[in-house]
Amino acid sequence: MINKLLSVLIGLTLLLAMSCNQSSFDINDPSTYPLYDGDDLGVNYTPTKTSFKLWAPTAKVVKLRFYNKGEGGEPSQTIIMKKSRNGLWQFEVHKDIEGVYYTYQVQIEKDWLNEVPGPYAKAVGVNGKRAMVVDMQKTNPEGWENEKKPKLKSFSDIILYELHIRDVSIHQNSGIQHKGKFLGLSETGTTYNSKFSTGIDHIKEMGVTHVHILPAFDYRSIDESNLQEGKYNWGYDPQNFNVPEGSYATIVTDGRVRIIEFKKMVQTMHEQGLRVVLDVVYNHVGYPKEQSFDQIVPGYYFRMNADGSFSNASGCGNETASDRYMMRKYMIESVKYWMSEYHLDGFRFDLMGIHDTETMNILAQEVHKIDSSIFLYGEGWTAGDSPLPMEKRTVKANMPIVKGIAAFSDEMRDGIKGHWNDLKTKGFVSGKKNTEETIKFGIVAATQHPQVDYKSVNYSDAPWSNGPMQTINYVSCHDNNTLWDKLLISNPKASNKKLKRMAKLANTIVLTSQGIPFMHAGVEFLRTKHEVENSFESPDSINWIDWSFKEKNMDVVEFYKGLIQMRKEHPIFRLPSSEKIATNLEFMDMEPGVVGYFIESDLEDEAWETAVVIFNANNKAINFYIDDAYWTTAFDLDNGYNPNGKKVKGEVKLDPLSAYVFYR
């Protein structure tokens, strides 16, 4: 009898402890949450047993519901999951349930939250409302296990090319069958007008090394059940982080198809010598009430204001809290999952400044332990203020304490073409005065150089990069106007001929500078979005790549191909360290509107002993004295790359709006 009473008392004590613990969680104090350190959250499938594991420490009850379809219909079964240690809830099914859809629903105090797929869903039905049990082995294309990444000797060899899955193929003139789909980027031999390569063949032809695809995880804004309405979005509104987007799949009702077709896209790119970078958006979600984080553990995954509202450094209504253990764990495991399951080669972090430097450093270490060739980079800023202290944010100013991750140089971007948000402002290539130091800052990849006056640089008064491989130089991307539209708006009286020279000069600076160059898809044939500045949900007619522009501007396409070839053939443009840059690159004293430098090589695989690079942004010709020895003109803005160009010495005439590379 005493033993029986003792058992009852122990049971009541445990229940009381659980009840007290249930109400002791403080969303502003992560230490009040038990943490789960296992690597098996989510669904683990085998033909004989499938386990479900969910971290939901604040839940009073968790229901697991099974469905026969990805949407509609009643659940075929509802299960109350079992609570385990460290906030874990789990359940096992001892039979083959491949193809079954499921949701979780948690009770917090007296309230039942919305049904969601759970943060660790790997496959989902239409519109991502229900997760799916999938045998991932069956989603692998033929030869997947043995496929190999294209070789990459050094990060300094990278040339990035950013595109949106839909933009590349959706135009009727693309010659691509699977328009707007992952499979559109697995088609080879496609042409415009039977003469001009399109799609993946064009990208390969350009000579770039890495294709950066805009968010292609499952996002919220497109109704996958109504694709005929043709709604468009860039995809920066995450719903299911570990699942490909359904609108890019040929079948949206079967959760396996998007996985198979994403893998086929990656496999084809690899076969064509192209590495693949995924744009990831871990800094916020599309809508918390429809996304798993806040419907499973309310408040934990997000930074909150003192009044209990979501903080908003993302500018999208909420921001995640990477500095919390389970969010940090989630980001790292998610990136590693995309690497292993989808064979990705790099990740671009949207609004990386929202993430703390400790998380990003740990993430980089974990990734590079597995594959040192994975390239990581992101935006070194936020879209608003954050509760995260400035010294902890992964912003440009803190990049010296970040290892293995690169950041975009918006200094170079706006220095070349003008301010991103003040559309009528000019930049170096369009004649703005006093931009030379900003251009020099970009040329040395935001590193320490004795000849750069950092106080005269547009956005930074000190170098922020540890070395050239930590800096992304660019002049345009999906955000804001295309390069052509920006130049057109800010130079309304300029002729097309002059605008074309400005455009060519802009990316000549990028592709001959130290650091990692980044190109916006279509810039090589003067892509326009018809002056629409923020096209994130504009129709296809604004965003699509019109392949007829390639024929109209084939001279510019050939110019870019030669420029990229020159960069790839000459390591002098890809020095391996900030020390090499400071020692081997010497700026010349030039008149206003001109930037020029000598660059010497002591690299074994460099055929040039010394090169001279000059950019003349003036509307007048300039006389430049090179020296009394003969130099070969390897490149100029009119003729592009020609390693056997004319010989020059003494005084050389530099044309208006021009660029030159001389070598000996």
Beta-carbon contacts of 196 under 8 Å, excluding residues fewer than 6 positions away, are 202, 547, 550, 551, 554
For residue 124, the 8-state DSSP code is: B
Which of 162, 294, 350, 636 is catalytic? The answer is: 350
Distance from chain centroid for Cα 343? 16
Edge-to-edge strand ranges of the sheet holding 88-93: 42-45, 50-55, 88-93, 82-83
Return the structure tokens found at 366: 């974990």
Decide if 423 contacts 482 (C-beta within 8 A). no
Q: Give the burial class of 515: count Cβ atoms within 10 A of its Cβ; 0-12 exposed, 13-18 middle, 19 or more buried.
A: buried
Decide if 159 contacts 567 (C-beta within 8 A). yes
Return the structure tokens found at 621: 């010709």
Decide if 136 contacts 149 (C-beta within 8 A). no
Q: Give the burial class of 370: count Cβ atoms within 10 A of its Cβ; 0-12 exposed, 13-18 middle, 19 or more buried.
A: exposed
Q: Which residues pair with 218 in a beta bridge?
A: 240
Nearest to 641 by CA among 626, 661, 624: 661
Nearest to 608 by CA among 664, 655, 562: 664
- Kindly write down the DSSP assignment for every residue of 269-303, as one continuous string: HHHTT-EEEEEE-TT--S-GGGSHHHHHSTTTTB-
Query: In what helix (H) or strand (E) does residue 559 lie, and over which residues does it extend?
Result: helix 554-569
- Cα 595 to Cα 214, 434, 637: the distances in Å are 34, 11, 15
The question of whether 254 is a catalytic residue gets the answer no
Beta-carbon contacts of 265 under 8 Å, excluding residues fewer than 6 positions away, are 182, 183, 185, 186, 276
Q: What share of the chain is helix, strand, coil (3-state, %, to 5)?
A: 35, 20, 45
The question of whether 350 is a catalytic residue gets the answer yes
HEC-encoded secondary structure of 185-203: HHCCCCEECCCEECHHHHH
Cα–Cα distance measured from residue 509 to residue 503, given in angstroms and rounded to the nearest whole number: 10
Cα–Cα distance measured from residue 170 to residue 179, given in angstroms and rounded to the nearest whole number: 5
Q: Phi and psi of 586, rounded to 5°? A: -125, 120
Assign residue 654 a region (left: φ > 0; alpha: ψ between -120 and 50; beta: otherwise).
beta
Decide if 438 contacts 431 (C-beta within 8 A). no
Return the structure tokens found at 569: 């053939």
Which of 379, 410, 437, 546 is catalytic? The answer is: 379
Q: 635 by DSSP, 3-state: which? A: strand
Cα–Cα distance measured from residue 420 to residue 410, given in angstroms and rounded to the nearest whole number: 9
Report the catalytic residues: 350, 379
